[in-house]
Amino acid sequence: MDEVEVKVLDVDRNALVKKLLSLGATKYFEGEIHAVSFDYPDNSIKKAKRTLRLRTKGDKTYLTLKNPIDNPDIKIREEIELEVSDFAAMKKILESLNLKQWRDVKKTRISYKLKDALFEFDKYHGEFEYIPEFVEIEVMATDDKEAIKKIYEYTAILGIKKEQCLPWTLNELTKHYKK
């Protein structure tokens, strides 16, 4: 399944949540996320623009591999994910395979679902705390063109302009805010 998403910066969370709720959205998660990214010593995963991540979300743990799909206007990643029962044990397995932790990210996330779209308000902690809260709008899809269309339909309804929708990763966020 593909993850199709954009980030929107400088958001007024209260105003957006009010609009989302009026459209029938429901809150489905509020809590801490801890994500650790891994790579081989030669950085072959990063060089291929892939991500191997072990993450806790609330009381659940997931191992995820993300593969890029080229699109200059919107972020699209093939996402292969499975739930694992033990963060520490999975981390030890990855490290025993000569994978090294290269990033450790903690954030607070508040998530809303409206039909087939997710609206996730993220605020980083620690090393990335200087990045202001933003919203990520995501649609999981087998048809990327349809998912892109849905994202832009939702952003238009919410009063978000297309040019505000950024296909950025955490790397682009850090570059933007470290100007």
Query: Which pLDDT score is estimated for 71?
Result: 86
Q: Domain map of the chain by residue range?
A: 2-177
Q: How confident is the model at residue 109 (pLDDT cuts 50, 70, 90)?
A: very high
Which pTM value belongs to this model?
Answer: 0.93
For residue 139, what pLDDT is reported? 93
DSSP character at residue 128:
G
Q: Rounded mean pLDDT of the chain?
A: 95
Which residues are CB-contacts of 144 (< 8 A; sequence separation ≥ 6)? 2, 4, 69, 71, 76
Residues 6+ apart with CB under 8 A from 127: 104, 105
38 within 8 A of 52, measured Cβ to Cβ = yes
CATH number of 2-177: 2.40.320.10
